[in-house]
Amino acid sequence: MSLITFGIVGAGWRAEFYLRIAQALPQQFRVHTMLVRDKDKALAMEQKWGVRTVSTVQQFAALAKPHIQFAVVSVPRTAAPAITLELAAEHIPVLAETPPASDLQSLTALFESIPQLAKVQVAEQYLYQPMHAARIKLARSGKLGEVNHVQVSAAHDYHGISLIRKLLGVSFEQAIIRGESFASPMIRSGGREGDPTDGEIISSEQTIATLRFGDKLGVYDFTREQYFSWVRRDRILVRGSHGEIVGAEAAYMVDYATPVYSELRRIDTGHNGNLEGYFHRGITNGEEWLYRNPFAPARLTDDEIAIATSLLHMGEYALDERPSFYSLAEASQDHYLALMMQQAIATGQTVNTQPQIWAKASMANGGNLQDNR
């Protein structure tokens, strides 16, 4: 595998994921230059990571463009569209963080403004987390029959909806959305700052919504404390005509009289007396590998594995060695559905979604979900 060299725009918490991945996999990824407009943050990045920083897009393009395959845009959603357009104007491929813009108006304006030949993808990583990737593969394998119902309690807003769409096999179909939220007490979890320091009871807001795509139903259920809580687990249900997945367990009929019961089993090394080192190897279902970690034996979390997968795909896409893998159109659709879900919750009313410009562009392109932008 050839070395993928990229630049980063931004210096926030999320940008450091890319730096850690490059540090853990120096034979596969290299960060060439970072664009950081805040001088103090730029100095901190240089000192901590030993990476060169610049303060303008023009400087970034002049230094990085001859050497990088693409730029990761990891800035607030309000700033992302302008940066994406500036880089596209410099003919630099872009891997934008989620979401690519803040609201429907901004999503539409960005999609309308991106040049047709610009190479823009979005770094939606949840689809590539090992267990989610394994479930998606099994759901699409045909063993469960036609999948028509999923329940996802694993990630917020557009992340959760991207999983719902992929598990259901839905693209830009219109949706009927209903939802509500409610608060309940729970013990404070840790967070980005570290472990909890007391046993404070906080109010945890839970969001539940249904998204009906014709004869297919997605149920979204999430509370943000799940990301760090030790007592709030993720929950996934995938139901098809011939079987289902519940968490890490699968059951399906191979014929009308023969049920199969199996486990989606994580294969992690370094446990107990295993001396291979501590890393994730993959996910099996009986004798089949549903997922193999392409970055083993690097010590990466599941989320880092997923982000590294987006980087790998983007490197190949930028060189025309891979088709679009999570396009601006897909990212815009997932965020649009999340915005409509929040509207349904806030108003207490049913929301009927409408085809947006990216959906219309896809239909004009023969229904191709993977719009190049």
Query: Would you say residue 28 has pLDDT above 60?
Result: yes
pLDDT digits (tens, 9 = 90+) for 257-309: 999 999 999 999 999 999 999 999 999 999 999 999 999 999 999 999 999 99
Taking domain 127-299, whether its CATH number is 3.30.360 is answered by yes
pLDDT of residue 65: 87
Banded pLDDT at 373 (limits 50, 70, 90): low
Binning pLDDT at 50, 70 and 90, where does residue 372 land? low
Q: Does the N-terminal peptide bond of residue 76 adopt cis geometry, omega within 30 degrees of 0?
A: no
Q: What does the alpha-carbon distance between residue 7 and residue 51 come to, in Å, rounded to a whole number?
A: 10
> Mean pLDDT score of the chain, rounded to an integer?
95
- pLDDT of 327 over the 70 cut: yes
Whether residue 98 has pLDDT greater than 60: yes
Q: Which secondary structure element, helix H or strand E, spans residue 151, and what is its range?
A: strand 147-153
pLDDT (tens digit per residue) in 161-195: 999 999 999 999 999 999 999 999 999 988 888 99
pLDDT at 371: 57
Residue 370: is its pLDDT beyond 60? no
- Name the superfamily (CATH) of residues 4-126: NAD(P)-binding Rossmann-like Domain (3.40.50.720)
Write the pLDDT tens digit of every residue in 119-149.
999 999 999 999 999 999 999 999 999 999 9
pLDDT at residue 362 above 90?
no
Is the torsion defined by CA of 81, 83, 87, 90 positive or negative? positive
What length does the chain have?
373
Residues 6+ apart with CB under 8 A from 86: 57
CB of 276 closer than 8 Å to CB of 175: no
Instruction: Tell me whether strands 120-122 and 94-96 are parallel, antiparallel or unpaired.
Output: parallel
Report how far residue 291's alpha carbon sits from residue 302's, in angstroms, rounded to the nearest whole number. 12
Instruction: Write the CB contacts of 235 (distance below 8 Å, at least 6 apart in sequence).
Output: 151, 153, 154, 221, 247
* 48-82 residue pLDDT tens: 999 999 999 999 999 988 899 999 999 999 999 99
Backbone angles phi, psi at 87, to 5 degrees: -70, -40
| Percentage with pLDDT > 70 across the chain | 97
pLDDT given for residue 109 in this prediction = 97
Paired residues of 210 in beta bridges: 178, 219
- Quote the pLDDT of residue 223: 95
Instruction: Tell me the whole-structure pTM to 2 decimals.
Output: 0.95
Q: Indicate the domain borders of the chain.
A: 4-126, 127-299
pLDDT exceeds cutoff 80 at 365: no
Q: What's the confidence (pLDDT) of residue 360? A: 84
Contact 177, 351 (CB under 8 A): yes
Q: Is 298 left (phi over 0), alpha (psi -120 to 50) or beta?
A: beta
**pLDDT at position 116, please?**
87
